[in-house]
Every structure is written in C-alpha cells, then in structure tokens.
Amino acid sequence: MKYPFHLVDVFSSTPFGGNQLAILPDATGISTEGMQKIAREFNFPESSFVLPIDDLNTYRVRIFTPRAELDFAGHPTIGTACALVMKQRVQTADPIRLILEENIGPVMVDVAQRNGGYHGTLTLSGKIDAPTGAPVPAELAAVLSIEPAEVSQSFFAGVGLPFCFAQLKSNEVVDRAAINRAAWTATLARAWSPNLFFFAGDLRDGGRLYARMCAPALGVEEDPATGSACAALVGAMASKYDFGGTAYRLSIQQGVSMGRRSEIEAEARKSAGLVTSVSVSGATAYIASGDIEVPPSALVS
C-alpha cells in the first residue's frame, strides 16, 4: 500500500541545512513495528507519523529514531507542524496554531510565514527535570576524548527527553571532541540520560552557543539540531535562583561541523520565581514529496 511522505529540513531557512525529517502526513493503518521499520529505512535522526484526529488543527503524532520511539522531540514537532501547514497551502500573515498530541501530551506549535518560508515555534509547560548525579567533568572529558580542564561544567536536564549537558571551553574544543564508545558505555549508557549535548558559549540571558549532540543509544551518532535539548537547557538555566528576569533567551548554532548548519532560538518564561513555559523556534525548508510502498506485514492486522 502506498503512503505519501514529505521531506523537510528543520532549523534551516534554506534546503540542505538543518535537521532532516521524513513525515507521513496520514499514517493510518501502519503498525508500531511498521513505523519503526520505516524510520529505520529513512535513517534520518527522526521520522514522524501523523494520525489525523477529528478536531480542527489537532493531530496525533508519533516520533521514531532509527532505533526507538520518542515521547517528544523538537525538530520533528516543528517540522511536522510546518509540513502540515505547507500541505494546506494557507496564505496568511497570522500564525496558524496547531496542537500535536505526542506521547508526552499536547504540544502547541505556532507556524508563521516569514520571508517566503515557514517558521515554527513550539511551546511546552515549564516542568523541567533536573536530577543530580551527572558525571563529573573528568568523566565526560574521557567520553569526549578531550582534557578534563576543557570541560567547564556538567549537569542533567530534560523536558520530555532527558540529556546530559557538558559546557566546554571553546568552539574549537566542541569541534575536536569525539565520542569514545568504551568510555560512553561505562559512564553514560545506563545513566539518567545517555544523550550527550555539549556546547561552548555564553550562558547568560541573550547568549549564543555553539553545540553538538550525540545519542548512540537512539541510533543517532550525531544530530544536526536538537530542539528538545535546547528547550531543556534554556529551562534549566532560567530555573536558577540567580536569574530574576521574566524571559531568558539563548541562540544555538548546531550541525556546523557536519555541514548542516542549524539555527535554533530558545526561550523560557518565568513568573514568581518559577519557569512557566519553554519554547523553541526555527525555520523549516521544504525538500521533496513522494510515496513509500508499505508492505502488508507493516500494517495493523
């Protein structure tokens, strides 16, 4: 049976940058096992499967890496919403709000047209998981094949998807880092999060970061853009007691060394000392559409 699909690049305003995403805009009838096999066939960091709901601008969305289903991910959420609006061919100066029902619950996405393209902003509640017990800098230095003095700090945080964060001394160190699989297995494989987001830059409000992300446990050796990590990072930073403002923003550049430059904007809103929401935004570029032949063995029996 043939199913239509779309390919887009997320967190890039031009094709062949950002993070690749395959979307099946109507995956009705495909089994969970079938979705996993299709995601493995596309072999992008994530693929998304849309299951229409009889409610205007509300869709059920399931997200898969080549190896596992995710409760939430940033670039598939934004890319799926933008692709659905592109498909509708709506011409409007006002943002279109979609609600994507993902495994973590409803995610609000506003899609607007900018400079002839599409720009999406996802918003989540401000519940930030930030447990203690992250590997110390020396341990993460071993995982990244760098010197312990080149790691400034490390911590856990997550909003829908957990990450281990490591702040490094410079962009050059970020580029030079290489995952040591033996050290990763010993240090992170069974940790609260095995997904490692490492970055350099200014963590103050309005700062710019230069980042990479590796998630071997999910079958993603390196991710060109990681919206869920940026949401967790901005939320964790805004949660700190010494930030007394109401809006904390970071700009993150990722995927540069892979040749897939990504630009991500992240913001956390804070009221009465508590983070009330986090949002991540960026552009989506259309690449292609087609059909995939899904065999009966991948359908719901």
Q: Tens digits of per-residue pLDDT, 141-152? A: 999 999 999 999
Higher pLDDT, 115 or 284: 284
SS3 220: strand
- How does DSSP classify residue 115? T
Residue 91: per-residue pLDDT: 59
| The overall pTM is greater than 0.85 | yes
- Residue 47 confidence class, pLDDT cut points 50, 70, 90: very high
Residue 89: per-residue pLDDT: 60
- Whether the CB-CB separation of 41 and 5 falls below 8 Å is answered with no
Average pLDDT of the residues in 258-286: 96
- Residue 92 confidence class, pLDDT cut points 50, 70, 90: low
Q: Name all domains of the chain by residue range, CATH numbers in brackets.
A: 2-120+284-298 (3.10.310.10), 137-282 (3.10.310.10)
Q: Flag whether pLDDT at 109 surpasses 90.
A: yes
Average pLDDT of the residues in 250-264: 97
Residue type, 66: P
Q: How many angstroms from the chain centroid is the CA of residue 263? A: 12
Distance CA 116, CA 123 (A): 23
Percent of the chain with pLDDT over 70: 98
Q: Flag whether pLDDT at 175 surpasses 80.
A: yes
Distance CA 106, CA 124 (A): 8
Residue 111: per-residue pLDDT: 96
- Whether the CB-CB separation of 198 and 166 falls below 8 Å is answered with yes
Residue 235: per-residue pLDDT: 95
Higher pLDDT, 92 or 192: 192
- Residue 242 confidence class, pLDDT cut points 50, 70, 90: confident
- How does DSSP classify residue 200? E
Q: Flag whether pLDDT at 94 surpasses 90.
A: no
Closest CA to 102 of 36, 55, 51: 51
Closest CA to 289 of 10, 22, 82: 22
Residue 82: per-residue pLDDT: 96
Please give the structure tokens belonging to residue 280.
């991540």
Judge whether 150 counts as a catalytic residue.
Answer: no
Distance CA 221, CA 184 (A): 12
- Whether the CB-CB separation of 295 and 7 falls below 8 Å is answered with no
Distance CA 133, CA 192 (A): 8
SS3 189: coil
Long-range pairs for 217-221 at CB < 8 Å and ≥24 separation?
A: 217/67, 217/68, 217/189, 218/65, 218/66, 218/67, 218/68, 218/70, 219/40, 219/65, 219/66, 219/67, 219/68, 220/45, 220/65, 220/66, 221/179
Higher pLDDT, 241 or 65: 65
Alpha helices in 89-193 (DSSP H): 137-144, 171-176, 181-187
Average pLDDT of the residues in 49-76: 92
Average pLDDT of the residues in 122-134: 92
Q: Flag whether pLDDT at 90 surpasses 70.
A: no
Higher pLDDT, 268 or 94: 268
Average pLDDT of the residues in 273-284: 95
Among 46, 102, 263, 267, the one annotated catalytic: 46
- Whether the CB-CB separation of 264 and 225 falls below 8 Å is answered with yes
Percent of the chain with pLDDT over 90: 88
Higher pLDDT, 293 or 92: 293
